[in-house]
Amino acid sequence: MTESLPLLVLSAADVRAALPMENCIDALHHAICALDEGKAINPLRSKMALSAGNGLLGLMPAEISSIGMTGIKIVTVLPGNHGTEYDSHQGGVFLFETERGQPLALADAAEITAIRTGAASALATRALARNGAGDLAIIGSGVQARSHLAALMADRTLRRIQVWSRNPIHAQRFAQQAGGRHRITIEIAASVEEAVTQADIICTTTSAAEPILKGDWVQSGTHINAVGSSVPHTREVDSALIQKSSVFVDRRESALNEAGDLLFPIQEKCFAAEDIRAELGEVLNGKKRGRQSAEEITLFKSLGLGIYDLIAIHQSYIKAQELGLGVTVPFGELRNV
């Protein structure tokens, strides 16, 4: 007789309950340092264009040997979902242990992605922003805008928060809902320039294909998390900002293959691969210096890595078991030998 193996299935609500932002930030610190130390594997993501031309299927595998886990995120990416009730990224993250290869958990990918991306930006801000930086400008008003606000509030004290969105109604809704949730005042800026001129932390979280943030608008000493673009043919920031910034990335290989924010300036010959100051893991491990002066502009080009998803589902799996969250279903069998 064979015995069924359990698989823990975690919904978006389960992930939110099992993965507090503070815990995710700490877990990502471990994963990013492990990658820099050669204790993790993170191949480039692969993608398949859908025949209808409206999006793609993306695959992001990873392994973190220091925790004995591997996994993969599988998502559909449909940009046309922006502004609808459907998330632009939908799918699942699978968690496997590496001793026997048993699948342990399957979690909602959209929620994992939202939390871990905000957490990565909070970690980069901790490492690269000026001491005491707390005037935040959020460009965009969607899922990542909400996640980034939650992440930065979990990691530092914010004095002032401004938001800008192409759609003023969305900006108003964000200010009301997020402001109410966090019991803070969120100001609505009339333009990107107005939002960022006095900010010392900027997060770009849009679906823009052309630059919406210009270097001329950014004051000395600012830290920027450039998040929204993750493909070679779109960008949120202009070449002037890249030129005047000290650029940090989550992984050079990913940035030089996928980051339009950097690839366009490279094509224009006003920036070079060698101009990337460091990977975030190198800074966190003390191998490379981060910010070197109070006047320096630092920019973290965030693409998101498979190890982010892997460490996030691993933490969710552990906490969900403690809290009794999720649904356990039979999946696979132990065979008699």
In this prediction, residue 278 carries a pLDDT of 98
Largest CA distance in the chain: 70
User: Of 6-10, 86-90, 234-238, where does mean pLDDT reach its minimum?
Assistant: 86-90
In this prediction, residue 334 carries a pLDDT of 81
Report the share of the chain in percent with pLDDT over 90.
Answer: 90
Domain range annotation of the chain: 3-112+307-334, 131-304
Which pLDDT tens digit goes with each residue over 103-142?
A: 999 999 999 999 999 999 999 999 999 999 999 999 999 9
In this prediction, residue 332 carries a pLDDT of 80
Q: How many CB atoms lie within 10 A of CB 291?
A: 20
Rg from Cα positions in the chain: 20
Report the share of the chain in percent with pLDDT over 70.
Answer: 99
In this prediction, residue 5 carries a pLDDT of 82
Average pLDDT score, the chain: 95
Least Cα distance to 155 among 185, 137, 176, 134 occurs for 134
Residues 6+ apart with CB under 8 A from 84: none
- What is the C-alpha separation between 236 and 139, in angstroms, rounded? 10
Which pLDDT tens digit goes with each residue over 45-72?
A: 999 999 999 999 999 999 999 999 999 9
- What is the C-alpha separation between 264 and 106, in angstroms, rounded? 37
Mean pLDDT calculated for residue range 229-251: 95
Per-residue pLDDT band for 82 (boundaries 50, 70, 90) equals confident
User: Is residue 202 over pLDDT 90?
Assistant: yes
In this prediction, residue 38 carries a pLDDT of 96
Least Cα distance to 35 among 61, 58, 66, 60 occurs for 66
Residue 125 token pair: 């801000």
In this prediction, residue 337 carries a pLDDT of 66
In this prediction, residue 1 carries a pLDDT of 46
Architecture of domain 131-304: 3-Layer(aba) Sandwich (3.40)
Question: What fold, for 3-112+307-334?
Answer: ornithine cyclodeaminase, domain 1 (3.30.1780)
Per-position DSSP letters for 20-74, written without gaps between them: -HHHHHHHHHHHHHHHHTT-EE-PPPEEEE-TTSS-EEEEEEEEEGGGTEEEEEE
Mean pLDDT calculated for residue range 3-17: 93
In this prediction, residue 2 carries a pLDDT of 62
pTM (two decimals): 0.93
Q: Which residue has the higher pLDDT, 331 or 15?
A: 15
User: Is residue 215 over pLDDT 50?
Assistant: yes
Three-state DSSP class for residue 133:
coil
User: Is residue 163 over pLDDT 50?
Assistant: yes
Which pLDDT tens digit goes with each residue over 173-188?
A: 999 999 999 999 999 9
Half-sphere exposure of 165 (CA within 13 A, CB side): 22
Residue 17 token pair: 């309950």
Q: How many CB atoms lie within 10 A of CB 2?
A: 9
